[in-house]
Structure 1
Amino acid sequence: MIKRLIKLRFYFIMALSVLVAALIFNFCFSKTEGFLLFNQYHPNWLDSFFKYATNLGDGLISILAAIILLSLRKKKKAMTVTLAYIYSGLLIQLAKRIFHMPRPKFFFEQTLFQYSHFVEGVRMHDQNSFPSGHTASAFALATVLVLVFKKKKISFFCLFMAILIGYSRIYLAQHFLIDVIVGALAGIGCALISYHQVYDLKLFRSAKVNERYKKLKIASRANAI
């Protein structure tokens, strides 16, 4: 795991740098101020773009990725994607139920702040803002893909797409910045745990592989005797 992280350090250093910068920004401004700074520019073409781009953070994308990998006989990769999606989903839903934070629209209504730019056709929610599930799913998938394919050249693209999806949640007034930051951290963390289980601990070997491994182990012991 450590060797893999070092080899792919560009992705993790960049991700950490962006999240630390976002966290510093978050502490420098109030929820409302930070939200408004991220939502100053709203042309129609961006409204349409983020309205659809945000769906890339839906859990169905992770499921689709796992199915594609499975069809290509990339079982370990498919398993890692699936576990990362399950772990991040469970963690996010648990956090939402514990904190039960208001979404931007409901928060502004409570504070009597007038914010009117809601993208047409996007369903607005009132509760369970913290943390962002779409962001967690996006970062979990991006991190897994970078880890399992070992390709430095896809690191930037995967990170860019994850950040884009995270920003889309703020742009569409579905989440605040802190929701996105924690969602990203949760996604990366769950991806690392999933990769460690599948590739390092090898907890999900098939029965045939385990049986073959045991036979080889017994044979090696017999030869040693």
Structure 2
Amino acid sequence: MIWKAVKHCPLFFAVLVSILMIGLISCALTSKLTSFNFLNFYHRPFLDVFFSYYTFIGDGLMCLLTIIVLLFLKRKKLSLALLLAFLGSGLIVQILKKLLHEPRPSLYFDQIGFKYSYFVIGIQKMQSASFPSGHSASAFAMCIVIALYFKDKRVSILCLFLALFAGYSRIYLAHHFLPDVMAGALIGSVSGLLTYYFTWHPADIYTKVNIDFKGR
């Protein structure tokens, strides 16, 4: 099943896997404070404004709005797949948030006595439920579905970088750490992949499960 997806969009998945691997290795080798500082070394007023608005690309309301627009455009199956990917990734994210209770950057900095100078004016300082990033999960889940649906390398790479910047916006705005974003991206990617095949190729999933069951 995964191999079929790779054959559909080889460049997309090569870039996606590379990004995920680099991010996960960075999380393993550095502390969340170190990676946060490294990714926030450059702040400018125009970027503050840009990311303050851009971050909504991974917001639940934006996802639902996209789904509604596609319904009006009679892309019913694509709308269904995006809805399932959004709900599936969101459910996993919310369960993990409730179980782990990780502090957001602003609260974590208060706890360790770290002075951070780049909080964006007008952006609410959130306190809890940092891990994983829901915006990142939603953005990557929808990105995967759209990339596999259109099977066009230009569309897929564009979607991937839109999702990547959505994840980065959460760090830039001091709402999440790198591990939060990478976990969200991984959850969203898996959710999007499974949802796509559940919607368009359910027989592939059934065959795989059936073969595994018989093999036991």
Query: TM-score when scaled to structure 2?
Result: 0.90
Per the alignment, in what secondary structure is the counterpart of residue 174 of structure 1? coil
Q: Report what 2:194 is aligned to.
A: 193
Matched, 1:177 2:178: yes
Aligned-residue offset at 1:41: 0.7
Give the letter aligned to residue 181 of structure 2: V
Aligned-residue offset at 1:27: 2.2
Over the residues paired in the alignment, what is the CA RMSD in angstroms?
1.2
Give the letter aligned to residue 189 of structure 1: V
What is the correspondence of 1:45-56 to structure 2 with a 5 Å cutoff?
A: 45-56=46-57
Aligned pair count reads 202
Aligned-residue offset at 1:45: 0.8
Matched, 1:150 2:151: yes
| Greater shift in the superposed pair: 85-94 or 58-67 | 58-67
In structure 2, C-alpha distance between the alignment counterparts of 1:64 and 1:5, rounded to whole Å: 29
Q: Report what 1:164 is aligned to.
A: 165
Note the residue ranges of structure 1 that are not aligned, 5 or more in a row: 203-225
Query: TM-score when scaled to structure 1?
Result: 0.86
Contact kept, 8 Å, 2:8 with 2:148, in 1: the verdict is: no
In structure 1, C-alpha distance between the alignment counterparts of 2:30 and 2:202, rounded to whole Å: 43
Q: Report what 1:5 is aligned to.
A: 6
Q: Report what 1:110 is aligned to.
A: 111
Deviations 1:166-225 (A, max 9, x none): 0010010000000000000011111111111111117xxxxxxxxxxxxxxxxxxxxxxx
In structure 2, C-alpha distance between the alignment counterparts of 1:144 and 1:61, rounded to whole Å: 16
In structure 2, C-alpha distance between the alignment counterparts of 1:74 and 1:31, rounded to whole Å: 40
Aligned-residue offset at 1:37: 0.7
Aligned-residue offset at 1:118: 0.6
Moved over 2 A (4+): 1-5
In structure 1, C-alpha distance between the alignment counterparts of 2:176 and 2:107, rounded to whole Å: 11
Per the alignment, in what secondary structure is the counterpart of residue 188 of structure 2? helix
Q: Report what 2:79 is aligned to.
A: 78
| Greater shift in the superposed pair: 21-30 or 98-107 | 21-30
Q: Report what 1:101 is aligned to.
A: 102
Q: Report what 1:41 is aligned to.
A: 42
Note the residue ranges of structure 2 that are not aligned, 5 or more in a row: 204-216
Deviations 1:27-84 (A, max 9, x none): 2221211111111111111111111110111012221221122112211111100100
Give the letter aligned to residue 126 of structure 1: Q
In structure 1, C-alpha distance between the alignment counterparts of 2:64 and 2:107, rounded to whole Å: 31
Give the letter aligned to residue 193 of structure 2: L
Contact kept, 8 Å, 2:52 with 2:173, in 1: the verdict is: yes
In structure 1, C-alpha distance between the alignment counterparts of 2:30 and 2:153, rounded to whole Å: 35
In structure 1, C-alpha distance between the alignment counterparts of 2:179 and 2:60, rounded to whole Å: 21
In structure 2, C-alpha distance between the alignment counterparts of 1:124 and 1:6, rounded to whole Å: 43
Q: Report what 1:25 is aligned to.
A: 26
Give the letter aligned to residue 38 of structure 1: L
Per the alignment, in what secondary structure is the counterpart of residue 27 of structure 1? helix
Contact kept, 8 Å, 2:82 with 2:145, in 1: the verdict is: yes
In structure 2, C-alpha distance between the alignment counterparts of 1:42 and 1:171, rounded to whole Å: 8
Q: Report what 1:135 is aligned to.
A: 136
Give the letter aligned to residue 198 of structure 1: T
Question: Computing the radius of gyration over CA atoms, which structure comes out larger, 1 or 2?
Answer: 1
Q: Report what 2:120 is aligned to.
A: 119
Give the letter aligned to residue 165 of structure 1: A
